[in-house]
Amino acid sequence: MVKMNHMKSGIFKIGSLLAAFLFVSFFGFAQDFAPWPVPDEASVVKNPVEANKTSLEAGKSLYTLQCKACHGETGRGDGLIKAASLVSENFQSQTDGAILWKLHQGRGQMPSFKALPDDQLWNVINYVRSLSKKPEDIIMKNAVVSLFFNEKAEQKELTAKVEQVNDNGEKLPAQGIKVNVGVQKYFGILPISSTSNYTSENGEINIVFPNNIIGDENGELTIIASVDDMEFNPARVSENISWGQINPKDYWSERRALWKNNDYIPLWLLISFTVGAISVWLVIMYVALLVRKIKIEGDKSGLSD
Amino acid sequence: MSATPNSTSESGNKTYEQIREDLIRPLHNNSFWNQVWIRFLIIVIVLGAVAYGHQLIKGLGLTAMRDYSAWGMYISNFVFWVAVSLIGSLISAILKLLTQNWANPISRISEMIALGAITMAGASIVIDMGRPDRVLNIPLHGRIQSPIVWDFFVVNTYLVISAILLYLPLIPDIAILRDRMTKAPKWQRKIYEVLSIGWQGTQEQWRLLKKSIRIMIILILPVAFSIHTVTSWLFAVTLRTGWHSTIFGPYFVAGAFVAGSAAVVIAMYVFRKRLKLQDYLTDHHFNMMNKLVVLTLLIYLYFNINEYLVPGYSWKRLDGDHLQELLMGHEAPLFWMTQILGMVLPIILLLFKPMRKPLPSMVIALFVLIGAWIKRFLIVIPTQFHPQFPIQNVPEHFTHYIPTYTEIAVSLATLAGALLIITMLVRVFPVVPIWEEAHDRGIHKIFKAEK
């Protein structure tokens, strides 16, 4: 007995050590990043770039390319890894100069962006600021986007038209608006417009539609156009059209094959797996029953003894 | 069961009481070294647990697994443990069905090893998961076509069957312990009390017990073959060279019997020495057991030749890359070392009777067992560096695999875990079945448990 107690307390000690270890490392991990002091001469540097539309748009595309993966779409630091929040009050309280200095320096997993020209960094700083605080002079407007298809002998053309909708319901072509056009695919939208597609004075962009996009078994595709502009609320349209290449019905992709999902599970497999699994366990249960019988038998003869 | 008294009673005839006391005596022995051994194992396990806790928090980035080598040491351990666990079915089921009665005294050793090994096989898989809390997603959301789902089912089933197969033949022995070990600590007496389920040794109880054992030793065969075949399919159904092989199932099963037999020889040696069972685990048993090792090794050699010669002959591009590395390149020293020291040389040595004596055969078995582990490592890892599609833009250190300290610490802990399970089982239960031993020595009285 004494030995047992001894051992018990040993196990208890080890257990509590382990628990303490887990506790410390867990909360150590959950903690925020340590303060990141910035030298005064860096903090006083003024941001020479005005936060106008051009700067914000340039900043957004740079952010999407270089920062979003870690800092997340909305800058809360919730991307693929845990990164600093770019919308917290604490963050906003520092000067643009201090942020630039941090972008130059980098720390830990935050890379240094010294290699990028400063004017681009100022753009991204302007954009990051706008994540928590929209510039006041921007009033959000509404727009509709529509798609037109034009099939000529040799070439298929697609037109996306953006119209601004005024408060009284009046629609006017909107010029200089960025429109993204793409084709819906399994895992996302395949862009077919170039990245800088701004509408002309009649509110349109024209795209020569590529011939090599694969559609469904009828060649049908879903085309999606969306307005991508800081001053406009999101607007989007999707249309189906048979402009894709015909994707012949594949015998194997329709078949119940071993490598497909559970909806296509081959019946012979479903049956043999289930029957096999159940019968093994039935036998195990039968043996458990026999063991129970042994016990009952023992109790009986124990009594008669 | 036909008794073969001559084969087992080398050291003269013993009475039932002598046999019983000989086999129970080790349970009273709580020697200093035993304590040290158990504490040592616990320390190794705790260190591994700390490393694992660290891995749990920081993620699998602490291991050396990267884009190329997405399976590493943990998966090799898993395959190794599954392999070792198969020995329970070989000795307790196959040899029993073939009425190879010389193996009766070692059947329990093999079942204990099987239970320790299969537990650690299951643990190794969970250890390999970045999010072990999601393990239930396998049965809940898995594709029934996926070998991983089959593996999940079959590992758990085999665990249960191994435990039952260890337990059933133990019942009469536990009843003896219940009646004899009156001075044992209370918890131990409680275990005997509960687990002996009121065994009185009546004729009806014997009938039911023998029937249950017989059912289990038949049931364990398909499950044992499934578990290792399915484990091999985890590899074989992929398109990777070195894995995508039609003989992978039997190749793995054959290799499993090699690893398990070697483990049994080592365990026999240790128990014989430490528990003073020279009269029960005799030279004869070592002789026979090592013949079994040679047999399994020869079968495994045959599969090895098939596995390397056929792709080596056609030398398809990726197969060629893989074999080049293995046979002549970077992995060659390790590969040839395992093939020669862990397979060819043991076969040759064990053909000579003096080598099948306890000490030399134990040393050989150590080589075979370590070779078996390295072999799993060589099956799992090198081929991943020859993917069908090139992996691009990765740092240089992604292109080879060297286990990290975390992986090594956790792996050692699984080894210690298996050893601890076996050690604790041996502390509480006799390693040689008492009733079977008496029966095989021609003592035919049905033991009514004495009061």
* Domain residue ranges of chain A, discontinuous segments joined by +: 40-136, 142-241, 258-289
Closest Cα in chain A to B142: A262
pLDDT at A258: 77
Residue range B207-249, pLDDT digits in tens: 999 999 999 999 999 999 999 999 999 999 988 888 999 999 9
Q: Do B209 and A21 touch (CB under 8 A)?
A: no
Partnered with residue A188 across adjacent β-strands are A185
Q: Give the DSSP letter string of B431-445.
A: SS-HHHHHHHTT---
Q: Give the DSSP letter string of A248-303.
A: PPPHHHHS--TTS-GGG--HHHHHHHHHHHHHHHHHHHHHHHHHHHHHHHHHHHHH
Of A26, A270, A298, the CB nearest to B198: A298
Q: Do A284 and B168 touch (CB under 8 A)?
A: no
Residues 221-280 of B with CB under 8 A from A: 222-223
Residue type, A232: F
CATH entry, A40-136, from 3.40.50.720, 1.10.760.10, 3.50.30.50, 1.10.3720.10: 1.10.760.10
Residue range B312-357, pLDDT digits in tens: 999 988 888 899 999 999 899 999 999 999 999 999 999 999 999 9
Q: Do B145 and A1 touch (CB under 8 A)?
A: no
Residue range B116-160, pLDDT digits in tens: 999 999 999 999 998 999 999 998 988 888 999 999 999 999 999
Q: How far is A20 from chain B (nearest CA, A)?
A: 11
Residue range A117-175, pLDDT digits in tens: 999 999 999 999 988 876 566 678 899 999 999 988 788 999 999 999 988 888 999 98
B197 at A interface, C-beta within 8 A: yes
Q: Is B242 helix (H, G, I), strand (E, B) or coil?
A: coil
B161 at A interface, C-beta within 8 A: yes
Inform me whether the pLDDT recorded for A50 exceeds 80.
Answer: yes
B153 chain-A contacts, CB cut-off 8 A: 277
Residue A298 tokens read as 């023992």
Q: How far is A42 from chain B (nearest CA, A)?
A: 34
B53 at A interface, C-beta within 8 A: yes
Closest Cα in chain B to A296: B198
A12 at B interface, C-beta within 8 A: no
pLDDT at B450: 43
Of A18, A277, A284, the CB nearest to B49: A18
> In whole angstroms, what is the distance from residue B43 CA to residue B47 CA?
6
Q: Which residue has the higher pLDDT, A286 or A17?
A: A286
Distance, first Cα to last Cα, chain B: 28
> In whole angstroms, what is the distance from residue B208 CA to residue A291 CA?
8
A3 at B interface, C-beta within 8 A: yes
Q: Do A294 and B197 touch (CB under 8 A)?
A: yes
Q: Please tell me the pTM assigned to this model.
A: 0.70
Q: Do B185 and A259 touch (CB under 8 A)?
A: no
Q: Do B57 and A277 touch (CB under 8 A)?
A: no
> In whole angstroms, what is the distance from residue A213 CA to residue A211 CA?
6
pLDDT at B448: 52
pLDDT at B428: 92
> In whole angstroms, what is the distance from residue B380 CA to residue B213 CA?
36
Residue range A277-297, pLDDT digits in tens: 999 999 999 999 999 999 998
A295 chain-B contacts, CB cut-off 8 A: 197-198
Fold of B18-440: Formate dehydrogenase/DMSO reductase fold (1.20.1630)
Q: Do A298 and B199 touch (CB under 8 A)?
A: yes
B261-272: average pLDDT:
96
A270 chain-B contacts, CB cut-off 8 A: 144
B197 chain-A contacts, CB cut-off 8 A: 291, 294-295, 298
A244-251: average pLDDT:
80
**Given its phi and psi angles, is residue B12 left (phi above 0), alpha (psi -120 to 50 degrees) or beta?**
left
B187 at A interface, C-beta within 8 A: yes
B150 at A interface, C-beta within 8 A: yes
Q: Do A298 and B202 touch (CB under 8 A)?
A: yes
Of B57, B164, B211, the CB nearest to A29: B57
> In whole angstroms, what is the distance from residue A54 CA to residue A48 CA?
14
A119 at B interface, C-beta within 8 A: no
A24 at B interface, C-beta within 8 A: no
Q: Are B70 and B405 in contact (CB under 8 A)?
A: no
A277 chain-B contacts, CB cut-off 8 A: 153, 157
CATH superfamily, domain at A142-241: SOR catalytic domain (2.60.40.730)
Give the confidence band of B415 by pLDDT, cuts at 50, 70, 90.
Answer: very high
Q: Are B200 and B448 in contact (CB under 8 A)?
A: yes
**Where along chain B do its domains lie?**
18-440
A268 at B interface, C-beta within 8 A: no
pLDDT at B366: 97
| Residue B442: partners with Cβ closer than 8 Å, 6 or more residues away | B3, B5
Q: Which residue has the higher pLDDT, A53 or A37?
A: A37
Distance, first Cα to last Cα, chain A: 33
Give the confidence band of B451 by pLDDT, cuts at 50, 70, 90.
Answer: very low
B186 chain-A contacts, CB cut-off 8 A: 1
| Mutate which: B35, B50, B52, B197, vs A, most A CBs within 10 A | B197
Closest Cα in chain A to B143: A262
A217 at B interface, C-beta within 8 A: no
Q: Do A25 and B160 touch (CB under 8 A)?
A: no
